[in-house]
A = this chain, B = another copy of it.
């Protein structure tokens, strides 16, 4: 290529600067310019909830390089020879003439700039409900640095006593934690029947049960208006007529890809609303790349396009586009398995691959699931609980997805399953996985491997499982069931479900088996704390001729409903 390459990047948050930096590293001579509508660059926006929650106080840390230097225009020029035009909005793309038009928002002056390659990283905008009162003081989103500044001030001032968070997704829940730490009483509103829709219902119920210990949770309800006095929010009114008094409302019902520029330029946009790109991150125009929250990418398991606004993915996409913009198409981003995690107070909540409901939606008809509850490391090393739901394709034995929640080391578990899916591993592979074991870090048989063992036992027909959700349906239908808790009497005294269960400790079951009804066709549901003993009890019952024995998966620890005690 002759001459100096001119690279223009639209968007200076995450994917944009990453693309620009990668382009610079691949080509010392390219002319690289980032246009950024706001005044800040390279904001660690995923860190906003933790800044608001007071995990740290120095706002500059949201803008710093790993070496502790604020990533401002001077930094980008000195360290990376990248020109940054902040407070500057790109208003149109002329793809025939390879030119952009922009407006300097501080002066109002307009200008144009020519590119050889353009990288669009315009991100996404919070979705807002189409209801009255959005402009009241106290109604906000948590997307921009000014939003974070506002909520941090709320937290510091301590004047606000009650808040409503609208949206039970990842950002909504993170916001709950931040505001809870500021001593604010929170009500969380979700339109759907569950929180965190990347989880299956039972797993979401466990999270909900935990969140309810910190905040009021209202499901299957939406906002119809924000009510106010003198321009200030005073209450949120719900679809069912309830008015919830509050001085603050944070809207977190998802984001919409910013694609106006791309659409107006005639670039292809997909059904999810994200800009269409190929694996080189190239849009329908060969000289224009797009990356980050404004695009759609393939889900690697289903092959279908998804809008996946994750900060990590944005960075990886930016790296690919930056390289390709200066080197020609040599790097590829294959897609996502939609791995995600969030901190929910002292719980981790994460998932990778497909949920059961998502797998069904995508045409997987022969799937198997199990729920496993156990400690992340030995009790004597202060092990903490993990609950995992694993989803596999029965046709191929291949792992489709996993969801992990609990106070234990969720992050490692989700990483293990994400790598298993990346490697297209089967249950058989995972059964003998070779993971790092020492008591400070894991059980001798890691929770993930134990989960695979349970799945293998189920796939091989060694036991039949039933989820808490399925049992609840049977109970509601008043089906005739024998309910059997096989824990020790002291455990039973401390806590029990209380749905008419009989207690026979595992160690007494062989001797006391005649206490059970003799008709071997009875349906028996058996459990213990985590259902390992429940599994052993089921094997004893089956060996004694009982035909319809089900292990309550995850035992007491995965029971998301009310308990007697």
Contact = CB atoms under 8 A, between A and B. Distances in A.
Contact of A416 (B336, B415, B529): B415
Interface in A412-442: 412, 414-416, 418-420, 422-425, 429, 431-442
Contacts of A540: 28
A46 B436 contact: no
A346 to B, nearest CB: 11
Contacts of A508: 78
Contacts of A533: 67, 79
A64 interface: yes
A439 B339 contact: no
Contacts of A437: 46, 310-312, 339-341
Given A425-B422, A433-B419, A79 B444 contact: no
A487 B67 contact: yes
Contacts of A75: 507
Given A78-B508, A434-B336, A536-B25, A312 B444 contact: yes
Given A312-B446, A441-B341, A50 B380 contact: yes
Which of A412, A439, A535 has the most chain B CB atoms closer than 10 A to its own CB? A439
Contact of A528 (B67, B78, B348, B410): B67
Interface string A306-341: 000011111110011000000000001110111111
A266 interface: no
A378 interface: yes
A66 B375 contact: yes
Contacts of A66: 374-375, 379, 529-530, 532
A437 B410 CA distance: 12
Interface in A367-395: 374-375, 378-381
In this complex, the interface size class of chain A, counting residues with CB under 8 Å from chain B, is 35 or more
A419 B539 CA distance: 32
A446 B508 CA distance: 49
A350 interface: yes
Given A419-B419, A440-B343, A378 B47 contact: yes
So how many copies of this chain end up in the complex?
2
A142 B422 CA distance: 40
A13 to B, nearest CB: 11
Interface string A482-521: 0000011001000000000000001110100000000000
A380 B436 contact: no
A310 B491 CA distance: 33
A79 B536 CA distance: 8
A14, A310, A412 — which one has the most chain B CB atoms within 10 A of its CB?
A: A412
A99 interface: no
A51 interface: yes
A55 interface: yes
A23 to B, nearest CB: 12
A532 B381 CA distance: 36
Nearest to A46: B439
A265 interface: no
Nearest to A543: B28
B539 A381 contact: no
A540 B26 CA distance: 10
A352 interface: yes
Nearest to A453: B319
A524 to B, nearest CB: 16
A228 B341 CA distance: 58
A194 to B, nearest CB: 20
A419 B67 CA distance: 31
Contacts of A418: 433-436
20 contacts: A25-B535, A28-B543, A44-B444, A51-B380, A56-B380, A58-B380, A62-B380, A66-B529, A66-B530, A311-B444, A312-B435, A312-B449, A315-B445, A339-B437, A340-B437, A348-B441, A411-B412, A416-B416, A419-B419, A422-B433
